[in-house]
């Protein structure tokens, strides 16, 4: 096990020193997508038969999901060739003997709740301090409408689910959330009748694609998706595409240099996850998609970034784009001072209820590096044309903050210390080693 992953699990903290770089060069193959790994792990644990998953995420979060699936009776084997074999419970989980520990993972807690809501036993989902602060009413309300009995403490975990027969619902999600949509589709799979989920923004559709891969039929129209209950899932063999949200850190690192040349192989290019590429092009980054293929309806491609010869321009990110880029906003904001016109982010209030309050923490750390930034309830204004200096960064236990500021540090004057660097292992234990490989000093 890597040192970073070990410390993320044991709770110890570590500091990483990031020196400025002269350029970004090289090629990388990224570990499997976190969102897809969670969904494949859950559905493989629920389906009938043995699924074989290659390039499964190395992040601690999807491994929390695998551990929960084992507690629910699935068999999980780590093969010598790196594949993970999951033998599922054919639709009937075992009653867990203890609380299901979701660690830092909101995806595990919210999506697994959907599978558990129809199971004929009570189960409790718990998480770490950060996860225990995150809102869970967003799943309690619709699951209750389907007939489940779900209790929370003040709107938060522990989440106790008294499962039982469910009925389909017609539900408009009040907040754009792929986790909530997936939770309801997982519950709807086991409900009587049809469950319809309508959303105002077409959020990432890995839940829909994964359900189809495991054999379910779904009906999709524009921003609505419906599933008929009572369908059975069968095991699959699948390769998880590389994680676009992890790729984002290196894409943004390469974007900081006029003559960068970075190739990323096997990156998941699902259109609901690829808006970052449009924003980078808008900022003036030269970017090519070299190859495209499809695996279980997920697009996979090779990306080449050839730097930003004219310098980064500036961007405005709001509306649906903010929801689709939600995990990439911290790194975009962290490099915004190096743009000419700055980056304005709005309609991103959800950032305040992620693993940390990402709006507050991005603003605090940008200021520590000497930048001016204005904070809004639902976003940030980061003016451009601001050189930054090395500083002490507090990652606040949040993996994406640790990685975002390691990228910003590449163009700063002087060294930067990232405190709480071990949190990167939540989604990307290899991050700092990979960054060292591509940063020319």
Q: If DSSP states are collapsed to H, E and C, what string results for 125-171?
A: EECCHHHHCCCCHHHHHHHHHCCCEEEEECCEEEEEEECCCCECCEE
User: Sign of torsion, CA 363 12 436 398?
Assistant: negative
Per-residue binding letters, 310-329, with ligand S3P (x by CB under 6 A): ----------------xx--
Closest distance of CB 177 from ligand S3P, Å? 4
- The owner of tokens 């697994």 is 112
Specify the residue, 35 or 275, whose C-beta has the smaller distance to ligand S3P.
Answer: 35
Find the residue with minimal CB distance to ligand S3P. Answer: 35
Query: Using the rule CB under 6 A, which residue among 35, 190, 324, 339 binds ligand S3P?
Result: 35
- Residues contacting ligand S3P: total by CB under 6 A: 11
Provide the minimum distance between the beta carbon of 323 and ligand S3P in the complex, in angstroms, as a whole number: 7
The answer to the question of residue 246 lying near ligand S3P (CB under 6 A) is no
Neighbours of 131 (CB within 10 A): 22
For tokens 């970004």, name the residue: 24
| 178 counts as binding ligand S3P under rule CB under 6 A | yes
Query: Is 327 a catalytic site residue?
Result: yes
Residue in 64, 119, 123, 177 binding ligand S3P, rule: CB under 6 A: 177
Q: Which of 128, 208, 350, 398 binds ligand S3P (CB under 6 A)?
A: 350
327, 381, 394, 398: the catalytic one is 327
Residue 39 backbone dihedrals phi, psi, to 5 degrees: -70, -40
List b or e across 223-255, with b for residues whose CB sees 16 or more CB atoms inside 10 angstroms: bebbbbbebebebbebbbbbbbbbbbbbbbbbb
Q: Does 159 bind ligand S3P (CB under 6 A)?
A: no
* Among 17-25, 48-56, 176-184, 228-236, the segment contacting ligand S3P (CB under 6 A): 176-184
Which range touches ligand S3P (CB under 6 A), out of 48-56, 93-101, 178-186, 416-424?
Answer: 178-186
Instruction: Specify the length of the chain in residues.
Output: 441
37 binding ligand S3P? (CB under 6 A): no
Any idea which residue has 């009572």 for tokens? Answer: 230
Confirm or reject binding of residue 107 to ligand S3P (CB under 6 A): yes
Which pair of structure tokens corresponds to residue 96? 């867990």
Q: Which bin fits 354, alpha (ψ -120 to 50), beta or left (φ > 0)?
A: beta
Work out whether 195 is an interface residue with ligand S3P (CB under 6 A): no
Q: ω before 314 within 30° of 0 (cis)?
A: no
User: Residue 204 interacts with ligand S3P (CB under 6 A)?
Assistant: yes
Which residues are known catalytic residues? 327
- Binding site residues, ligand S3P, CB under 6 A: 35, 107, 177-179, 182, 203-204, 326-327, 350
């Amino acid at each position: 096990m890597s040192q970073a992953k070990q410390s993320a699990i044991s709770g110890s903290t570590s500091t990483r020193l990031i020196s400025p770089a002269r350029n970004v060069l090289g090629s990388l193959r990224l570990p499997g997508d976190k969102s897809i790994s969670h969904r494949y792990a859950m559905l493989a644990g629920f389906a009938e038969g043995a699924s074989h998953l290659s390039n499964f995420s190395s992040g601690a979060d999807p491994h929390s999901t695998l551990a929960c699936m084992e507690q629910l009776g699935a068999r999980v084997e780590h093969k010598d060739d790196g594949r993970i074999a999951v033998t599922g419970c054919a639709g009937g989980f075992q009653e867990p003997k203890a609380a299901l520990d979701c660690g830092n993972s909101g995806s595990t807690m919210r999506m697994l709740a959907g599978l558990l809501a129809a199971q004929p036993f009570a189960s409790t989902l718990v998480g770490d301090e950060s996860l225990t602060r995150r809102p869970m009413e967003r799943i309690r309300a619709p699951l209750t409408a389907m007939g489940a009995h779900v209790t929370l403490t003040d709107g938060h975990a522990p989440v106790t689910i008294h499962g039982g027969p469910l009925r389909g619902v017609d539900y408009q999600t009040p907040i754009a959330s792929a986790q909530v949509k997936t939770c309801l589709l997982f519950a709807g799979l086991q409900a009587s009748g049809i469950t319809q989920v309508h959303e105002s923004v077409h959020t990432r559709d890995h839940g829909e694609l994964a359900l189809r891969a495991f054999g379910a039929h779904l009906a999709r129209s524009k921003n609505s998706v419906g599933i008929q209950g009572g369908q059975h899932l069968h095991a699959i063999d699948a390769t998880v595409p590389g994680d676009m949200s992890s790729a984002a850190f290196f894409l943004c690192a390469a974007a900081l240099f006029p003559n960068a040349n970075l190739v990323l192989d096997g990156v998941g290019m699902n259109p609901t996850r690829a808006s970052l590429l449009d924003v980078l092009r808008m900022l003036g980054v030269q970017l090519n998609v070299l190859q495209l293929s499809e695996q279980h309806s997920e697009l996979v491609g090779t990306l080449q970034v050839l730097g930003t010869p004219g310098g980064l321009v500036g961007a405005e990110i709001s509306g649906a784009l903010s929801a689709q880029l939600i995990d990439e906003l911290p790194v975009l904001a962290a490099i915004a001072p190096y743009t000419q016109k700055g980056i304005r982010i709005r309609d991103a209030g959800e950032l305040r209820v992620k693993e940390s309050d990402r709006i507050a923490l991005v603003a605090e750390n940008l200021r520590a590096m000497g930048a001016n930034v204005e904070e809004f309830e639902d976003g940030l204004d980061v003016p451009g044309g601001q050189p930054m200096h090395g500083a002490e960064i507090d990652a606040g236990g949040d993996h994406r903050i640790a990685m975002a500021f390691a990228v910003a540090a590449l163009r700063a004057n002087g060294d930067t210390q990232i405190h709480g660097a071990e949190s990167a292992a939540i989604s990307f234990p290899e991050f700092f080693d990979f960054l060292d490989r591509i940063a020319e000093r």
